[in-house]
Amino acid sequence: MKSAHAPARAAKHSDFFVELDGVTLDYGRGERRIKALGLTNLRIEQGDFVALVGPSGCGKSTILKLVTGLLTASSGYVYVAGREVGARAVRVGMAFQNPTMLPWLTVRDNIMLPLKIVPPFREQFRQKRKTEFRDRAEALLTEVGLANFGDKHPWQLSGGMLQRASLCRALIHEPQLLMLDEPFGALDQFTREELWAIMQDLWMKMRPTVLLVTHDLKEAGYLANRICVMRARPGEIIDDAAVPFARPRTIEMSYTPGFVSMTQRLRELIVAARPAKEAA
């Protein structure tokens, strides 16, 4: 399903918190030009939780980078908080598959990094780093189950612990927009399910607008309000469906017939949209 988009737009603004309006993105030039993202329209309400699923190379991460302003669209408009991306200072949090902690800082200092950079916290960082900000970091660490690990260094933590810390870093500055690029992708099944529950709790408490990129359909179904299915070459959104289950969701719920048939439908869509196998 493609959302119809209004062509005549007098002033450049959007009524949605995030909107991609006729966006395309090409990499490279001339003959070697690659269409990373075909014509894409996407609208996200404030406080929504949207998952992007699809085969690898379908431009899921590209959409995240467009919305955070790390990439600039080749054509079309990207709006965040009603204005073109970058025009308005929106607090953004990001977490990747690789936790990317700074090895020379303790876990707590790593988590407090956004407070050191982002206004309005930046100005108060010197005064509050040992008091209010420190308490806030500790509170978040407790929430993700890392209560006594603030003074450790990243190399002393396991992969799952680092990913929890990475979530804390993405959330500490109370972002309006949270970008999750396969943050649970490298974890084992049990850690992953535990982190889904934590993520859901945090989202219900703080209500940032979330864009989650994932390969895991169960993860998308558990966490998201809406699931957008993408196909590759060129990357396009081919399906956009609401997830009807009530919150808080549980792992048990993912074994109910309704949930299973939903993930089955998504899976079929992705398989059907997979590009024909290239001649081997």
Partner 1 sequence: MDAQIRRRLASALFIVGFFVLWEVLCRGFGVSDIVLPKPSQIIVTLVERMPALWPHALQTLYTTLVGFAFGIVIGVLLGVLIGSSRLAYDVAYPLLIGFATIPKVAVVPIFVLWFGAGTVPAVLTAMIMSIFPIVVNVATGLATTEPELEDVMRALHASKFDILWNVGLPRTMPYFFASLKVAVTLAFVGTVISETVASNRGIGDVMMIASSNFDVPLVFAGLLILAFLGVALYAVFSFLEARITGWAHRKNDLAMG
Q: Does 116 bind partner 1 (CB under 8 A)?
A: yes
Give 166 or 254: the residue with its C-beta nearer to partner 1.
Answer: 166
Report long-range pairs for 258-263 (Cβ below 8 Å, ≥24 apart): 259/221, 262/221, 263/217, 263/218, 263/221
Binding string to partner 1 for residues 201 to 240, with x set by CB under 8 A, is what? ----------------------------------------
Tokens of 42: 């996407």
> How far apart are alpha carbons 46 and 48 in whole angstroms?
6
**DSSP conformational letter for 241:** E
Tokens of 31: 């003959």
Bridge partners of 209, per DSSP, are 177
Give 157 or 229: the residue with its C-beta nearer to partner 1.
Answer: 157
CB of 261 to partner 1, least distance (A): 36
> How far apart are alpha carbons 22 and 14 in whole angstroms?
13
Q: Does 189 bind partner 1 (CB under 8 A)?
A: no
CB of 29 to partner 1, least distance (A): 18
Q: How many residues bind partner 1 (CB under 8 A)?
A: 28
Q: Does 103 bind partner 1 (CB under 8 A)?
A: yes
Tokens of 209: 């607008």
Judged by the rule CB under 8 A, the positions of this chain that interact with partner 1 are 65, 68-70, 89, 92-94, 96, 98, 100, 102-104, 113-114, 116-118, 153, 155-158, 161, 169, 173, 179
